[in-house]
Amino acid sequence: MKMRLSILISTLLISATLAAQTYKERFDAAFYSDSSVHLALPILRAWESASPNDPEMLVSAFNFYFHASQEEVSQFSLTPPSDGREAYAITDSAGNSAGYMYSKIVFDEALITKGLGYINRGIELFPKRLDMHFGKAYVLYEAGMYQEHVAYLEKILELDSDYNGEWLWSDGQLLEGDQEQFFTESFQDYLGTLATTDAVEPSVAEGIILKAKESYPENTSFANDLGVLWFLEGDLEKAEKALLEAYDIDETDEVTLGNLGYLYLQMSQLSESKSYYEKLLTSDDSTTIEYAKAQIQFIGEQE
């Protein structure tokens, strides 16, 4: 009798605990645990049945299907991976290079599409949720949908103008602190990737960066992105013009100073390079100061 009573009490306690937990708490507990991720889908289905328009359910479903769409496979090529990922070099019996083996992530298109369906519904119902917009942009890039990624970044810029930069974040909360800084720094992460990748044509990357510069003309980050883009393309004149624009905006911006110092070093304009590195010696960051000192010493050895 005591054992039956104990079992009954335990069952009631478990039921009460589950009832007290929100669907989000239960889903997160399963989804973010390797040992119980398989339990996430039935929780998600129950959650959707109970609250089909819950924004957090829509975000969770989007995350779930993006995660489920990924599969790691082995890839062989005659050349090392262009993105710099770790690869195992294979040699033949004579010790000559025979190729490279590395892992890559492939995506199930059907599951990606299903996930995008959830986030699109979320964006339609809650259009000011910036986390949803950025999440969609991220997945489009990761899934190799580069044209759609750039087009969606343009859409985000348009909405940012429409909303006067007043966005919401997760749980529908207003962004805390400097909203413009948060938006531009987050947006720059995407542009910085586009500026340094061969996934899109340089003209495409330039187009979206220029639109960001137009929206935020006093922001040095976007001018720097443009400078880095053209530097990597070998057009040092265009790179110099973009970086000098950033310098005109803020002569103390350390990213700009470092980029100009490096650019002029590559152009063999040693005195110009040295002058920008010297400006970094007043930085509050010890690592930046040490880097500048090392570059100045290197320049001195070249003079």
205 exposure class (CB count in 10 Å sphere: 0-12, 13-18, 19+) = buried
Q: How far is CA 261 from CA 70, 147, 234, 269, in A?
A: 41, 33, 16, 9
pTM of the complete model? 0.84
pLDDT above 70 as % of the chain? 85
Q: What pLDDT score was predicted for residue 13?
A: 39
Digit-coded pLDDT (tens) for 185-211: 999 999 999 999 988 999 999 999 999
- The residue whose two tokens read 């819950």 is 54
Please name the residue ranges forming H helices in the chain: 2-20, 23-31, 40-50, 55-68, 109-125, 130-142, 146-162, 179-195, 202-215, 220-232, 236-249, 254-266, 270-279, 286-302
Q: How far is CA 101 from CA 84, 93, 97, 105, 167, in A?
A: 13, 17, 12, 14, 44
Digit-coded pLDDT (tens) for 140-150: 999 999 999 99
For the chain, state the CA radius of gyration: 25
Spatial contact of 58 and 119, defined as CB atoms under 8 Å apart: yes
Model confidence at 15: pLDDT above 50: no
Q: How far apart are the first and last CA of the chain?
A: 93
Q: What is the mean pLDDT of residues 93-111?
A: 76
Model confidence at 19: pLDDT above 90: no
Say which range, 13-27, 28-42, 222-236, has the weakest mean pLDDT: 13-27
Name the residue with higher pLDDT: 288 or 175.
Answer: 288
Q: Which two tokens stand for residue 218?
A: 């006093």
Spatial contact of 273 and 264, defined as CB atoms under 8 Å apart: yes
